[in-house]
Amino acid sequence: MSSEVTTTPATLHGCLLGESRGQSVLFVPRQSYIATMKKLVDDGYEMCVDLTAVDFLTHNARNLPEGVAPERFEVVVNLLSLSKRERLRVRVQISESDPRIDSLFDLYPGTEAMEREVFDMFGISFTGHPDLTRILMPEDWQGHPLRKDYAQGRIPVQFKGAAS
């Protein structure tokens, strides 16, 4: 992402506006996440098409624009403006010690299942989510499979209800 390093850092709503392969990326601090998203809704980004996360445990030294401190987790939100026919990606850094972020449910109800999936797979909890339960894994599953330190193929298969 060397292309993200520009000479004059562009900003949008006080957040760093970067670019990755020609796509706009907005780096939003966790504190101003909801406030910024509200402004983006007013800007005409009517639809939140995707919300996911990345665990950068083994790749922490990634390229980020100056002023954005890398954290272990990153929540990635893809917004779409139907009227302007534009996309914008929002990336939020989430620390390992406090994996928590506000829920977008009140702004984009469609993120309900996506946030549950991120909670299920990464163990990031969403404050204000109406029903933060596991969605893909069984309710009593231990661990969060898409974390990089989740031992892949080295854990005993967990069966529901079986004596362990």
Give the footprint of another protein on this chain (CB under 8 A). Answer: 1, 20-23, 25, 46-50, 52, 54-56, 58-59, 62-63, 76, 78, 82, 85, 87, 89, 107-114, 117, 121, 130-140, 145-146, 152, 161
Q: Please report how close the Cβ of residue 113 comes to another protein at its closest, in angstroms.
A: 5
Cα–Cα distance for residue pair 119/144, rounded to 1 Å: 8
- For 35: left if phi > 0, alpha if psi spans -120 to 50, otherwise beta; the answer is alpha
Q: Are 119 and 126 in contact (CB under 8 A)?
A: yes
Pick 6 or 63: Cβ nearer another protein: 63
Pick 15 or 51: Cβ nearer another protein: 51
Cα–Cα distance for residue pair 147/58, rounded to 1 Å: 10
Q: Please report how close the Cβ of residue 37 comes to another protein at its closest, in angstroms.
A: 13
Range list of β-strands (E), 21-139: 23-28, 47-55, 73-81, 86-94, 100-102, 125-127
Q: Please report how close the Cβ of residue 42 comes to another protein at its closest, in angstroms.
A: 12
Q: Please report how close the Cβ of residue 124 comes to another protein at its closest, in angstroms.
A: 13
H-assigned helices in 24-148: 33-42, 111-122
Pick 31 or 161: Cβ nearer another protein: 161
Pick 7 or 161: Cβ nearer another protein: 161
